[in-house]
Amino acid sequence: MSEARTLLTAKEMARTLERLASEIVERRGESAQLVLVGIQRRGVDLARRLQKLLDARLPKPVVLGQLDINLYRDDWSSLGISPAISHTEIPAEVEGASVILVDDVLYSGRTIRAALEAILDFGRPRRVELLVLIDRGHRELPIQADYVGKRVNTSASERVDVLVAERDEQDRVLLRPKPEA
């Protein structure tokens, strides 16, 4: 594969987020204390969009948080660089709540492991579920998403790039070859 292949267009991304919001309402209903926590960076953007979709469907507003997992990563000290720290803002409502972690791509599972560890520093949720736009396989840890936008078979020599208008001026998901080191 020499060039990028589009996995989701902007229209398909919007439809996928609509479907995921409907699945959340179906599973969690109107009674749950629901907290969406986006994982920095693009997971936060996706969580904001989901919050708007859920707020339109539910009688009470959905709480939104954002999480930077860089200091919880199990590999940052071996990267030879200092991690770039982003903003974390977790609402007090995590204690006893149904938390849905939102990320753009699920790959090895290590980001989610770090996110789970970080969430527990803010309280003990009733449950934690995982929502990802793309599940590309290749798990290194026993972590699975509860809500999946699209499953994509990839090779280790490929990468999935999620582009969001908030950061990239367009909505699109691409499958590309990894750059050679």
Q: Please tell me which residue, 92 or 86, carries the higher pLDDT value.
A: 92
Q: How far apart are CA 144 and CA 165, in angstroms?
A: 27
Task: Say which CATH number the domain at 49 has.
Answer: 3.40.50.2020
Q: Which domain holds residue 143?
A: 5-24+32-177
Strands 147-151 and 127-135: parallel
Q: Residues 126, 96: contact at Cβ < 8 Å?
A: yes
- Segment 58-72 shows an average pLDDT of 88
pLDDT at position 48: 98
Q: How far is CA 21 from CA 25, 33, 102, 129, 174, in A?
A: 6, 15, 12, 13, 22
Q: Residues 64, 44: contact at Cβ < 8 Å?
A: no
108: closest CA among 85, 136, 81?
136
Q: Report the chain's mean pLDDT, rounded to a whole number.
A: 90
**pTM, entire model:** 0.90
Q: Across-strand partners of 6?
A: 174
pLDDT at position 70: 79
Query: How many separate domains does the chain show?
Result: 1
- Segment 121-138 shows an average pLDDT of 95
End-to-end C-alpha distance for the chain, whole angstroms? 17
Percentage of residues of the chain with pLDDT beyond 70 = 90
Q: Which range (30-34, 129-133, 135-139, 155-159) has the least confidence?
A: 30-34
Paired tokens of 32? 């749950």
Q: Is the pLDDT confidence value at 77 over 90?
A: no
Q: How far is CA 16 from the centre of its chain?
A: 13
Strands 98-106 and 147-151: unpaired
pLDDT at position 1: 47
Residue pLDDT, tens place only, 92-128: 778 899 999 999 999 999 999 999 999 999 999 999 9
Residue pLDDT, tens place only, 25-37: 999 887 778 999 9
